[in-house]
Amino acid sequence: MSFDFEAKITAKLIGEKVIVLNLKMQNILRERGFGDLEKNYLLLDSFETLYLLYSKKLELKKINKKIIFDELIQKFIKNDKEILTRFLLYRDLRTRGYVVKDGFGFGSDFRVYEKGNYGKKDAKFLIFAFNEGTQKKIVTLYKDIENIKKMGKEPIIGVVERRGEIIYYRINKMNFSNNSSTVEMKNFDFS
């Protein structure tokens, strides 16, 4: 999602929350799928804030002190050990032109909207974020995937490799001759 304005977005860090007070900036961000409206301000998720700081579109202040990317990520890591993985996936998907929102259950990390469909249709993909080498019980993942498929969504696993490269895998169900279920992983390209 490209930005077609010159002014930086200004936001305040209040406790653990990042809020945008300026109505014009709220509207610009909401049109592009950022944040959630709460009372008279726009609340940004941690990964959205990191992305906007990283791309130099956001100026973040706590009281009168300017907060920089490195400082903020260290603050977020204290409460969320997976924030760096989530940020890297979020940044990759946004760079590819997708609108990405926080997941809504079943173990998913993100909802991803097809290009041009944000605000018109529900999210098509649900992303599970993993670092290379992460272990997870297949039974739990299988149940989450089954529930996601029942909702008509496509489950995708996004793996951040040690070198920072991201690979996406589409999850499909396979039935073998004895009718036992298993999960097949195929490489999925978001381009």
Torsion of CA 175, 181, 186, 190, to 10 degrees: 110
pLDDT tens, position by position, 160-188: 999 889 999 998 765 545 555 565 666 66
- Torsion sign, CA atoms 29, 31, 34, 35: positive
Of 15, 46, 12, which Cα lies nearest the Cα of 26? 12
Cα–Cα distance measured from residue 160 to residue 181, given in angstroms and rounded to the nearest whole number: 27
- Residue 64: what pLDDT? 87
pLDDT tens, position by position, 59-115: 999 988 999 999 999 999 999 999 999 999 999 999 999 999 998 878 889 999 999
Alpha carbon distance, N-terminus to C-terminus of the chain: 14
- Residue 45: what pLDDT? 96
Residue 36 has pLDDT above 90, yes or no: yes
Lookup result for tokens 């992303």: 127
Phi/psi region, residue 67 (left: phi>0; alpha: psi -120 to 50; beta: rest), is beta
